Amino acid sequence: MAASFKLDLTQRPRRLRRTGSIRALVEETVLRPADFIAPLFVVEGKAAPEEIKSMPGVFRLSIPSLVKECRELWKLGVPAVDLFGKVEAGVKDDAGTVAMGADSLMARAIRAVKKAVPEMTVISDIALDPYTAHGHDGVLTDDGSDVHNDRTIELLIQMAVEHARAGADMVAPSDMMDGRVGAIRAGLDAAGFEHVGILAYSVKFASGYYGPFRDAVGAAKLGQKTGPADKKTYQLNPANRREALIEAALDEAEGADILMVKPAGLYLDIIRDVRDRTDKPVAAYQISGEYSQIHAAARMGWLDLARCRHESLLAIKRAGADMILTYFAKDMAKVLKA
């Protein structure tokens, strides 16, 4: 082609990509440390942090280590943590009763973090799967064939009130029982915790990407002893888009303060759908499997960890998430704050 060839173009979009400073001026989506919620795993005792084999760089933390981690996150500009408990198999039962009471692991962890970093937003997981012998998110029906919706909610209300009493700023029901947001809202209000928010796992799919998380909290393998072999009777079918919007609308009507989509990166279309249909804040959870597969590919030399980490989170925010739960929170905050 002749060197003198030139198209007669008025519009040349590449003009806005020519230099780094121009690209910065027109950048539409920006990540900040304040966009992130760090999920953290807490265990009994005072042992040193224990790295989770399936989640490189993520640790189970004793309460003293948890407090230290929260202080570091706060200094980096991460405003919130979501706490998950991990207990030994020997203390579990079919009703998850070890999760209840003012002296439960989670209640003590919440109190410790709020005492050490009172400005930090502490969110607590409201579900029974880390504490039940069968690994499900609630109590089973009498014949053991399914999770009993209403009996489970009765326990979740108790759990939410105990966490609020310990100082949780928000509770995050992740169980996907019908009606639990409204019931928890009523329970919190009746106990005098009108100020405690609900970050609802409104759209939680029955994903195959939860494996590392279940390892992290020591959840029992489903169907090994009793109960269904999967969670498909309460978590959403990954094939269903309209059903996801029904669930989000129900949680909003029942009083959820924030609506969450989980997983995040695999369901960007759902994040956008929810964002377009609500004025409530929208959260998205970049789950353990998403995190671990990026790490695994990077370790094999197939992906650049830093670039793919950033791109994956940028996509979630671009899709419409106001906040992102991610195990990359600390590392990303360090990069963004530098």
- Cβ distance 81 to 40 under 8 Å? yes
- Cβ distance 112 to 81 under 8 Å? no
- Cβ distance 176 to 201 under 8 Å? yes
Q: Enter the tokens of residue 125.
A: 């997981």
Q: Give the residue from 338, 248, 314, 255 showing the smallest Cα distance to 35.
A: 314
Q: How many residues are listed for the chain in this entry?
A: 338
CA angle 287, 229, 125 (to 5 degrees): 40
Looking up tokens 């079918």, which residue turns up?
237
Q: To the nearest 10°, report the CA torsion of 26, 266, 54, 229.
A: 160
> What is the DSSP code string of 215-272?
HHTTPPPTTSSSS-SSSTTTSBPTT-SHHHHHHHHHHHHHT-SEEEEESSGGGHHHHH
What angle, 0 to 180 degrees and rounded to 10, lies between the N-to-C axes of helices 149-166 and 180-190? 40
- CA atoms 207, 196, 71, 218: torsion sign: negative
- Cβ distance 122 to 83 under 8 Å? yes
CA angle 333, 117, 52 (to 5 degrees): 55
Looking up tokens 């440390």, which residue turns up?
33
Q: Enter the tokens of residue 34.
A: 């304040």
- Give the residue numbers marked as catalytic: 204, 262
Q: Enter the tokens of residue 74.
A: 């706060």
Strand, helix or coil for residue 189: helix
- Cβ distance 82 to 172 under 8 Å? yes
Amino acid at 77: G
Q: Tell me the β-bridge partners of 173.
A: 126
